[in-house]
Amino acid sequence: MGAPTLVIVGEKDVVSLAHARQMAEALGHGTLAIVPGGHFTPVTHARRVNALIAAFLGIEKPTFKGSG
């Protein structure tokens, strides 16, 4: 039994969407989230990425600092 894992990938990332899907599936308890952008998505779309992580961890209202 594996731990729940969140795989986040940008739709134009270096990692292909097909490979990201394979990673999530191979984990057994993997969840795939595809967000706009490329490899710097955690920086360029910080609010969306943080919201995904917060939801995955069960945090209802994440606090955001900075832009994104």
The model's pLDDT over 8-31, given as tens digits with 9 standing for 90+, comes to 999 999 999 999 999 999 998 999
1 pLDDT higher than 90:
no
CA distances for 55 relative to 49, 50, 62, 63, angstroms: 10, 9, 9, 12
Percent of the chain with pLDDT over 90: 65
Phi-psi region of 12 (alpha: psi -120 to 50; beta: other; left: phi over 0): alpha
Q: What is the DSSP letter of 10?
A: E
